[in-house]
Amino acid sequence: MAAKNLKGIFITFEGAEGSGKSTQAKRIVAYLKGIKKKVLHIREPGGVKISERIRDILLSLKSRRMSGECEVLLYMAARAQLVEEVICPALKRGDIVLCDRFLDSTIAYQGYGNGANQRMIQTIGRWATANITPDLTLLFDIDAREGLRRAGSAKDRIEKRPLRYHQRVRRGYLALARREPGRIKVIKVDGDKDAIHAKVRCYIDKLLGL
Protein backbone atom coordinates (compact mmCIF):
# COMPACT_ATOMS: atom_id res chain seq x y z
CA MET A 1 0.00 0.00 0.00
CA ALA A 2 1.45 3.36 -0.99
CA ALA A 3 0.17 6.93 -1.02
CA LYS A 4 -0.01 7.81 -4.70
CA ASN A 5 -2.47 9.30 -7.16
CA LEU A 6 -4.29 11.05 -4.34
CA LYS A 7 -6.41 13.87 -5.76
CA GLY A 8 -8.45 14.65 -2.67
CA ILE A 9 -7.90 16.84 0.38
CA PHE A 10 -7.16 15.33 3.80
CA ILE A 11 -7.98 17.41 6.89
CA THR A 12 -7.59 16.18 10.46
CA PHE A 13 -9.10 17.48 13.68
CA GLU A 14 -6.99 17.05 16.81
CA GLY A 15 -7.27 18.01 20.44
CA ALA A 16 -7.51 16.73 23.97
CA GLU A 17 -10.63 15.71 25.87
CA GLY A 18 -13.34 18.39 25.96
CA SER A 19 -11.75 20.51 23.23
CA GLY A 20 -14.87 20.47 21.06
CA LYS A 21 -13.07 19.17 17.97
CA SER A 22 -15.78 16.64 17.12
CA THR A 23 -18.50 19.31 17.28
CA GLN A 24 -16.50 21.60 15.02
CA ALA A 25 -15.82 18.78 12.57
CA LYS A 26 -19.56 18.11 12.24
CA ARG A 27 -20.22 21.79 11.60
CA ILE A 28 -17.61 21.89 8.84
CA VAL A 29 -19.11 18.78 7.26
CA ALA A 30 -22.47 20.56 7.11
CA TYR A 31 -20.82 23.68 5.67
CA LEU A 32 -18.96 21.78 2.96
CA LYS A 33 -22.02 19.78 1.98
CA GLY A 34 -23.94 23.04 1.83
CA ILE A 35 -21.57 24.35 -0.85
CA LYS A 36 -21.83 21.06 -2.76
CA LYS A 37 -18.45 19.61 -1.84
CA LYS A 38 -18.05 15.84 -1.69
CA VAL A 39 -16.94 15.24 1.88
CA LEU A 40 -16.36 12.17 4.02
CA HIS A 41 -16.27 12.39 7.83
CA ILE A 42 -14.63 9.60 9.83
CA ARG A 43 -13.29 9.09 13.34
CA GLU A 44 -10.35 7.34 14.95
CA PRO A 45 -9.94 4.78 16.23
CA GLY A 46 -12.77 3.24 14.24
CA GLY A 47 -14.55 4.12 11.04
CA VAL A 48 -14.75 0.56 9.66
CA LYS A 49 -15.86 -2.71 11.23
CA ILE A 50 -12.42 -4.08 12.14
CA SER A 51 -11.22 -0.73 13.49
CA GLU A 52 -14.37 -0.30 15.59
CA ARG A 53 -13.74 -3.69 17.19
CA ILE A 54 -10.19 -2.59 18.02
CA ARG A 55 -11.60 0.68 19.41
CA ASP A 56 -13.76 -1.28 21.83
CA ILE A 57 -10.68 -3.10 23.14
CA LEU A 58 -8.61 0.09 23.41
CA LEU A 59 -11.19 2.09 25.34
CA SER A 60 -12.68 -0.66 27.48
CA LEU A 61 -12.19 -0.40 31.22
CA LYS A 62 -11.51 -4.14 31.10
CA SER A 63 -8.23 -3.36 29.28
CA ARG A 64 -6.54 -1.71 32.27
CA ARG A 65 -3.57 -4.11 32.12
CA MET A 66 -2.81 -3.29 28.47
CA SER A 67 0.89 -2.50 27.98
CA GLY A 68 2.04 0.74 26.37
CA GLU A 69 3.48 -1.17 23.43
CA CYS A 70 0.23 -3.06 22.86
CA GLU A 71 -1.70 0.22 23.02
CA VAL A 72 0.44 1.84 20.32
CA LEU A 73 0.21 -1.16 18.03
CA LEU A 74 -3.56 -1.47 18.38
CA TYR A 75 -4.03 2.19 17.47
CA MET A 76 -1.80 1.64 14.44
CA ALA A 77 -3.70 -1.49 13.42
CA ALA A 78 -7.03 0.33 13.56
CA ARG A 79 -5.54 3.21 11.57
CA ALA A 80 -4.01 0.96 8.91
CA GLN A 81 -7.37 -0.71 8.26
CA LEU A 82 -9.14 2.66 8.01
CA VAL A 83 -6.53 3.97 5.58
CA GLU A 84 -6.78 0.85 3.41
CA GLU A 85 -10.57 0.62 3.36
CA VAL A 86 -11.67 4.24 3.40
CA ILE A 87 -9.10 7.04 3.38
CA CYS A 88 -6.99 5.99 0.39
CA PRO A 89 -9.98 5.20 -1.85
CA ALA A 90 -11.70 8.47 -0.95
CA LEU A 91 -8.59 10.55 -1.62
CA LYS A 92 -8.05 8.76 -4.93
CA ARG A 93 -11.62 9.70 -5.91
CA GLY A 94 -10.85 13.32 -5.13
CA ASP A 95 -13.05 13.62 -2.04
CA ILE A 96 -12.45 15.91 0.94
CA VAL A 97 -11.77 13.64 3.91
CA LEU A 98 -12.24 14.99 7.44
CA CYS A 99 -10.78 12.71 10.10
CA ASP A 100 -11.41 13.11 13.83
CA ARG A 101 -7.87 12.18 15.04
CA PHE A 102 -4.98 10.64 13.11
CA LEU A 103 -1.28 9.90 13.69
CA ASP A 104 -0.70 13.10 15.70
CA SER A 105 -3.03 11.68 18.37
CA THR A 106 -0.82 8.65 18.89
CA ILE A 107 2.28 10.82 19.17
CA ALA A 108 0.55 13.10 21.70
CA TYR A 109 -1.33 10.50 23.78
CA GLN A 110 0.92 7.45 23.63
CA GLY A 111 4.20 9.27 23.01
CA TYR A 112 4.15 12.40 25.13
CA GLY A 113 1.37 11.21 27.44
CA ASN A 114 2.36 7.61 28.06
CA GLY A 115 6.09 7.73 27.35
CA ALA A 116 6.22 5.50 24.27
CA ASN A 117 9.18 6.02 21.94
CA GLN A 118 8.15 8.81 19.57
CA ARG A 119 10.59 7.88 16.83
CA MET A 120 9.17 4.36 16.84
CA ILE A 121 5.62 5.73 16.67
CA GLN A 122 6.52 7.86 13.67
CA THR A 123 8.29 5.00 11.88
CA ILE A 124 5.42 2.55 12.35
CA GLY A 125 2.98 5.36 11.64
CA ARG A 126 4.42 6.09 8.21
CA TRP A 127 3.99 2.43 7.30
CA ALA A 128 0.49 2.11 8.79
CA THR A 129 -0.74 5.25 7.02
CA ALA A 130 0.90 4.54 3.65
CA ASN A 131 2.83 7.80 4.15
CA ILE A 132 -0.37 9.83 3.96
CA THR A 133 0.04 13.20 5.65
CA PRO A 134 -2.86 15.59 6.29
CA ASP A 135 -2.97 18.69 4.10
CA LEU A 136 -4.23 20.57 7.15
CA THR A 137 -4.48 19.71 10.83
CA LEU A 138 -6.64 21.82 13.12
CA LEU A 139 -5.55 21.54 16.75
CA PHE A 140 -8.14 22.66 19.31
CA ASP A 141 -6.18 23.72 22.36
CA ILE A 142 -7.73 23.87 25.82
CA ASP A 143 -6.39 23.76 29.36
CA ALA A 144 -6.35 20.10 30.39
CA ARG A 145 -8.29 20.63 33.63
CA GLU A 146 -10.96 22.68 31.86
CA GLY A 147 -11.16 20.16 29.02
CA LEU A 148 -11.78 17.30 31.42
CA ARG A 149 -14.44 19.38 33.19
CA ARG A 150 -16.20 20.04 29.90
CA ALA A 151 -15.97 16.42 28.89
CA GLY A 152 -17.83 15.39 32.04
CA SER A 153 -17.36 12.17 33.95
CA ALA A 154 -14.69 9.92 32.44
CA LYS A 155 -16.23 7.15 30.37
CA ASP A 156 -13.31 5.19 28.93
CA ARG A 157 -9.85 3.92 29.89
CA ILE A 158 -7.98 6.88 28.38
CA GLU A 159 -10.24 9.57 29.82
CA LYS A 160 -9.82 8.08 33.29
CA ARG A 161 -6.08 8.72 33.32
CA PRO A 162 -4.88 11.38 35.80
CA LEU A 163 -4.73 15.10 35.11
CA ARG A 164 -0.93 15.08 34.77
CA TYR A 165 -1.26 12.60 31.90
CA HIS A 166 -3.67 14.88 30.04
CA GLN A 167 -1.38 17.84 30.71
CA ARG A 168 1.48 15.96 29.03
CA VAL A 169 -0.81 15.22 26.08
CA ARG A 170 -1.57 18.92 25.70
CA ARG A 171 2.12 19.83 25.85
CA GLY A 172 2.79 17.16 23.24
CA TYR A 173 0.22 18.57 20.86
CA LEU A 174 1.64 22.07 21.21
CA ALA A 175 5.16 20.74 20.60
CA LEU A 176 3.95 19.12 17.38
CA ALA A 177 2.37 22.41 16.31
CA ARG A 178 5.63 24.26 16.88
CA ARG A 179 7.44 21.61 14.84
CA GLU A 180 5.03 21.80 11.89
CA PRO A 181 3.42 25.25 11.86
CA GLY A 182 2.64 25.06 8.16
CA ARG A 183 0.37 22.05 8.60
CA ILE A 184 -0.87 22.28 12.19
CA LYS A 185 -2.97 25.34 13.04
CA VAL A 186 -3.69 25.94 16.72
CA ILE A 187 -7.16 27.17 17.57
CA LYS A 188 -7.58 28.32 21.16
CA VAL A 189 -10.81 27.09 22.68
CA ASP A 190 -11.57 30.35 24.47
CA GLY A 191 -14.55 31.76 22.60
CA ASP A 192 -18.05 30.64 21.74
CA LYS A 193 -18.67 27.86 19.23
CA ASP A 194 -19.60 30.26 16.44
CA ALA A 195 -16.37 32.22 16.80
CA ILE A 196 -14.35 29.02 16.76
CA HIS A 197 -16.27 27.78 13.73
CA ALA A 198 -15.42 31.00 11.90
CA LYS A 199 -11.71 30.40 12.52
CA VAL A 200 -11.97 26.80 11.34
CA ARG A 201 -13.85 27.82 8.22
CA CYS A 202 -11.22 30.48 7.44
CA TYR A 203 -8.42 27.89 7.43
CA ILE A 204 -10.41 25.44 5.35
CA ASP A 205 -11.60 28.05 2.84
CA LYS A 206 -7.98 29.12 2.35
CA LEU A 207 -6.88 25.53 1.78
CA LEU A 208 -9.67 24.96 -0.74
CA GLY A 209 -9.17 28.29 -2.46
CA LEU A 210 -12.69 29.52 -1.66
Give the whole-angstrom CA distance, residue 109 versus residue 168.
Answer: 8
Give the whole-angstrom CA distance, residue 128 versus residue 52.
Answer: 17
Q: Convert the pLDDT of each residue in 91-105 to its tens digit.
A: 999 999 999 999 999
Note the pLDDT of residue 6.
Answer: 86
Note the pLDDT of residue 4.
Answer: 58
Give the whole-angstrom CA distance, residue 88 versus residue 85.
Answer: 7
Give the whole-angstrom CA distance, residue 38 versus residue 181.
Answer: 27
Question: Bridge partners of 138?
Answer: 13, 185
Question: Bridge partners of 41?
Answer: 98
Half-sphere exposure in the Cβ direction for 91 (13 Å, CA)? 25
Q: Convert the pLDDT of each residue in 52-91 to its tens digit.
A: 999 999 999 999 999 999 999 999 999 999 999 999 999 9
Q: Convert the pLDDT of each residue in 128-181 to its tens digit.
A: 999 999 999 999 999 999 999 998 887 899 999 999 999 999 999 999 999 999
Q: Convert the pLDDT of each residue in 62-71 to its tens digit.
A: 999 999 999 9
Mean pLDDT of all residues in 187-208: 95
Note the pLDDT of residue 1.
Answer: 39
* Whether pLDDT at 203 is above 70: yes
Tell me the domains of the chain and their CATH numbers. 9-208 (3.40.50.300)
pLDDT above 70 covers a percentage of the chain that reads: 98
Mean pLDDT of all residues in 24-30: 97
Closest CA to 82 of 107, 101, 62, 108: 101
With a threshold of 0.85, does the pTM exceed it? Answer: yes
Note the pLDDT of residue 3.
Answer: 54
